[in-house]
Structure 1
Amino acid sequence: MNEFMTKTAYIASSWFNDEQTAHMNGGVAAIKANPTVDFDNSYLPLAHQYKGLDTMKNPELLSDTEWQLATFNGDVQGINNTDLVIALYDPKQENSDPGVLWEVGYAYGLRKPVILVLPDANEIPLNLMPAIGATAIIHVKDLADYNFNFPNYDVYKGQVY
């Protein structure tokens, strides 16, 4: 146990293309290095695939109702059972994932802190809802040092639409 308080996090991310996977992997590595996150008791959906099934290797699962329900309910429980949400989000059109944005909105509705994490070089405007609904918006380079024990609201200063 760390000598100070840590938070558990639901780590929302996408892994459907190479850029999304790179953003997720960079973010996860930085989160693991952050002493205010209890990574071992946090929830990364990719590490909790229903029955260990991989939709990238078995895309037919996406049509399977049992898999859909189990995945949805598992992820909802992951959000319910953690202290906050860290959403690794890339607003580039081909990388924007409505699933991550749903998770952000659900966490907001539960009044959980949401930290939206953008790629370091992002200059793309954000949609108003996640831009204002997130507790704070940071970049991957900020993740390892961000204090998740006190995720204070910070107004997003970037462009929105």
Structure 2
Amino acid sequence: MTKTAYIASSWFNPEQTALMNAGVAALKQNTTVDMDNSYLPLAHQYKGLDTTEHPELLSDTEWQMATFNGDVQGINNTDLVIALYDPKLENSDPGVLWEIGYAYGIRKPVILVLPDGNEMPINLMPAIGVTAVINVADLTDYNFNFPNYVVYQGKAY
């Protein structure tokens, strides 16, 4: 049995992109995730447009609405959310936090994935409002078929 996942992540700077790439690579090795039918927003850009090549799209209302609605449907149509999240101020992305909150609100399991060795405190909302908090190193072997609730043990504020 495998689960489909909405893979929330950021790609606005090199550290965020590295976290996303490491997370996706690990998930491709996990036998409990159906990566072929999962939803990585960057792989589902509206009309195939790349915001890296066309940053002006970020200001385009049509692109914004289509991206928002596509991502919401991605969350709605998958079994769970895997949120790759770096809590460092320069890497924290309110979009990922919104996706976590929306998934929580519609009762989807949410697995918050932190960078290996993270020691940054996490805001209590994503720390407590998720099913489990794991590290990138855990992604390959984590059983997404049974994402049991685990109380976050790290520093929260």
TM over 0.5: yes
Figure out how many residues of one structure are paired with residues of the other and give that number: 157
**Letter of the 2:67 counterpart:** T
- Residues 10-66 of structure 1 show CA distances to partners (whole Å, capped at 9, x for unaligned) of 000000000000000000000110000000000000000001111111111111111
Quote the residue 1:51 is aligned against.
47
Give unmatched runs, 5+ long, in structure 1: none
Structure 2 residue corresponding to 1:39, chosen from 35, 42, 51: 35
The list of structure 1 runs, each at least 4 consecutive aligned residues, that deviate by more than 3 angstroms after superposition, is none
Quote the residue 2:98 is aligned against.
102
Question: Does 2:45 correspond to 1:80?
Answer: no
The alpha carbon displacement at 1:106 in A equals 0.2
The alpha carbon displacement at 1:158 in A equals 0.2
Structure 1 residue corresponding to 2:114, chosen from 115, 118, 136: 118
Q: Secondary structure at the match of 2:50?
A: coil
Quote the residue 1:11 is aligned against.
7
The TM-score with structure 2 as length reference comes to 0.99
- Residues 43-100 of structure 1 show CA distances to partners (whole Å, capped at 9, x for unaligned) of 0000000011111111111111110000000000000000000000000000000000
**Letter of the 1:98 counterpart:** P
**Letter of the 2:65 counterpart:** L
The TM-score with structure 1 as length reference comes to 0.97
- Residues 82-132 of structure 1 show CA distances to partners (whole Å, capped at 9, x for unaligned) of 000000000000000000000000000010000000000210000000000
Question: Does 2:149 correspond to 1:153?
Answer: yes
Give unmatched runs, 5+ long, in structure 2: none
Q: Percent identity?
A: 83
Quote the residue 2:18 is aligned against.
22
CA distance in 2, matches of 1:56, 1:15: 9
